[in-house]
Structure 1
Amino acid sequence: MVRHRPSEAALDHQARLDLVHAEMKTLIKTGAAVEGGAQATYPGPHATGRRIVEDFSALMLRSYNGEAENCLHLLSTGGLDAARRRLERAASAIERLSGTFSLRISPRYQALRSYELELTADHLRRRAESRRTRRIAS
């Protein structure tokens, strides 16, 4: 097996994370990170109803992203499976609690967040192994 220098692994990790973050940003800007809400009707102007759905979607996405950040911090204790379950529960709660809006986090956005968890867990594991190896070599 060819071993990469830690700096190369860190650069590769950061490059992949940058790609994931760029795609997440694109999904958010285009409104594709949250799906649904099109079938909801409201009395009054159509634009008002659309704005309500957009605002509620932004609130739900903000909540989901906050939970995703908490899951990233959970990884420092080595709980990738627990972090994935927690993120999945957050997405399910958003879908359940969105009520008449029928909102949900898009599967693509969920997949990107899950991949971000995997990348970070792998990076943390490699860093711990590197520290352990340096400690043994000293």
Structure 2
Amino acid sequence: MVPHRRSEAALDHQARLDLIHAEMKTLIRTGAAVEGGGQVPRDGSDVARRRLVEDWTALMLRSYNGEAENCLHMLHAGGLDAARRRLDRAASAIERLSGAFALRISPRYQALRACELELTADHLRRRAEARRTRRIA
């Protein structure tokens, strides 16, 4: 009976993560994961400027997603608060370093990544508790 509950919890966790990942993909596809890009330097054509903003946006999003993946791996050590702070610092660094492009990770995308962290931390905590319970029994 307990393994059935565990599998239900795992399926629920996976279903919630799948919803989060689907919304993140939608935000990325529609270009809503990163905001800004209004103050582009005026040298070159409009097409070249737009392409430059798109390249910077992709680079910043790739950097943020890499940091988010590192934060997910940090959770194995049990550091949810440290992972959240690290992800927030990454977002603020992107905003600060984007310079004249004034790019920033959208609050919705940040919230989805934070929710992903919390769900994963909760799942890892539950798995650890189940292992402890099995050892005791």
Report the TM-score range of the alignment, normalised by the length of the smaller protein. Answer: over 0.9
Deviation at 1:107, TM superposition (A): 0.2
Q: How does 1:14-33 map to 2 (within 5 A)?
A: 14-33=14-33
| 2:86 is the alignment partner of 1:86 | yes
- CA distance in 1: counterparts of 2:42 and 2:48, whole angstroms: 8
What is the CA deviation profile of residues 82-132 of structure 1, one whole-angstrom value per residue up to 9, with x for unaligned ones? 000000000000000000000000000000000000000000000000000
1:36 corresponds in structure 2 to 36
Cα distance in 2 for residues equivalent to 1:42 and 1:54? 16
Distance 1:129 1:48 in 2: 55
Q: How many residues align?
A: 134
Output the amino acid matched with 2:90.
Answer: A
* Distance in 2 of aligned mates of 1:94 and 1:29: 20
- How far off its partner does 1:42 sit? 2.4
RMSD over aligned Cα atoms: 0.9
Partner of 2:49: helix, strand, or coil? Answer: helix
SS state at 1:5 partner = helix
What is the CA-CA distance between 1:43 and the residue it aligns to?
1.9
Deviation at 1:45, TM superposition (A): 1.4
Q: After TM superposition, give the deviation of residue 39 of structure 1 in Å.
A: 2.8
User: Which residue of structure 2 aligns with residue 135 of structure 1?
Assistant: 135
In structure 2, the partner of 1:61 is: 61
Q: Which amino acid aligns with 1:49?
A: R
Distance (whole Å) between structure 1 residues aligned to residue 38 and residue 47 of structure 2: 12
TM-score normalised by L of structure 1: 0.95
1-side partners of 2:96 and 2:45: how far apart? 27
Give 5+ residue unaligned stretches, structure 2: none
Kept in 1: contact 2:80–2:117 (CA 8 A): yes
Counterpart contact for 2:17–2:116, Cα < 8 Å: yes
Gaps spanning 5+ residues in structure 1: where?
none
* Counterpart secondary structure, 2:39: coil
SS state at 1:123 partner: helix
